[in-house]
Amino acid sequence: MAADISINGPDETPFAVFEVKARRGMTSEWAAQFRRNLAVHVGIPPAKYFGMVTPDRLFLWDTARDRQDSPTAHFSDRLPDFTVDMDDYFSGFPNSAEYTAQGETFEMLVTYWLNTLLRGEIEGSPKVLEESGFLRGIRSGHVNLQSAREA
């Protein structure tokens, strides 16, 4: 199974993988359950971070904690380690409601956002992304968007 979007390091190893859902109002509990179901039924590529991006939230897990919490089970219903409010970022785009309501269009918007993070072009990046080591880890990588044809 391939993620919707990945950030790969210079050696092409995935550093972070993301599922993108154009749905508003999702909770941490919903994200944790969705992640567990995805892992059990479809599979999630191995990476240091797993993220789920919605128009109003980023849910981010440090997957090393999965192995610490349960060495035999790589995924659980564990709540995200980090949650970021995305409304401020995505609402800055013209016609943002239209963009965030469409799956593939929203994936491209998330790809753009990740690329700006990677290049350090967003002033005031969410502090939690810096403190977690996520921003430092992605700086030497590149973003890959899986096209619908590859899915």
DSSP letter at 7 equals E
Q: Are 60 and 137 in contact (CB under 8 A)?
A: no
Q: What is the pLDDT of residue 146?
A: 81
Q: What is the pLDDT of residue 75?
A: 63
Sign of the dihedral defined by the CA atoms of residues 96, 98, 103, 105, in that order: negative
Sequence-distant (6+) residues with CB within 8 A of 97 are none
CA 75 – CA 25 distance, rounded (Å): 23
First-to-final CA distance of the chain: 8
**pLDDT beneath 50: ranges in the chain:** 71-72, 148-151
CA 80 – CA 103 distance, rounded (Å): 22
Q: What is the pLDDT of residue 1?
A: 58
Q: What is the pLDDT of residue 80?
A: 95
Q: What is the pLDDT of residue 151?
A: 44
Q: What is the pLDDT of residue 45?
A: 87
Write out pLDDT tens, residues 4-48. 999 999 898 999 999 999 888 999 999 999 999 998 888 888 899
